[in-house]
Amino acid sequence: MPLRSAERTQEGFDLLVKDGTENDQEATEKEQHLAVADAYAQGARVDKAVAYLDSVVAKDPSYAYDLKLRKASILYEARRNEEALAALDDCIAMNARAYDVHYMKAWIAWDMKDWDLAEEAFDAASSSKEDQVRLTSEDALIMLTDLETARTK
């Protein structure tokens, strides 16, 4: 069913009712693109989801950050960590202070047992947002330190 949903969503772009403002149209189009990619990914068509997002970014890079972040998430869920890291690096190039990107990168590095990269990414995440978020990243750094200690014993 998700594949049919992806195809219907993709075909339905022209049928959307918009209120005529440029921001509304852009937000609606972005949400539609994300929905198509999600539907493909849920249908176990990760390659199709990634190719779709890449084609949208190539045609219109105006919301490339959000689409590349979703691409990284889809790739991470599919355990395609190297590709997910590359997509996150693209996001970092667009916004180096984005907490969510560094935080996702840290967990991907953790999953890959790349402790140095995980620590670097957790550190970047902890210094990129307000105090409530820093606590989460600092807790993750403590976990990483504890894990590193356990690994060396």
Q: What are phi and psi of 70, to 5 degrees?
A: -65, -40
* pLDDT attached to residue 54: 87
Residues near 149 by beta carbon (within 8 Å), at least 6 away in sequence:
none
Token pair for 72: 């990284």
Other Cβ atoms within 10 Å of 9 Cβ, number: 19
Mean pLDDT in each 10-residue stretch from start to end of the chain (153 residues)? Answer: 46 43 57 79 84 85 89 93 96 88 91 89 76 58 70 67
* pLDDT attached to residue 140: 66
Q: Which of 69, 118, 116 is nearest to 95 (CA)?
A: 69
DSSP line for 20-61: S-HHHHHHHHHHHHHHHHHHHHHTT-HHHHHHHHHHHHHH-G
Cα separation of 100 and 39, whole Å?
Answer: 22
- In angstroms, what is the C-alpha Rg of the chain? 18
* pLDDT attached to residue 136: 64
* pLDDT attached to residue 92: 94
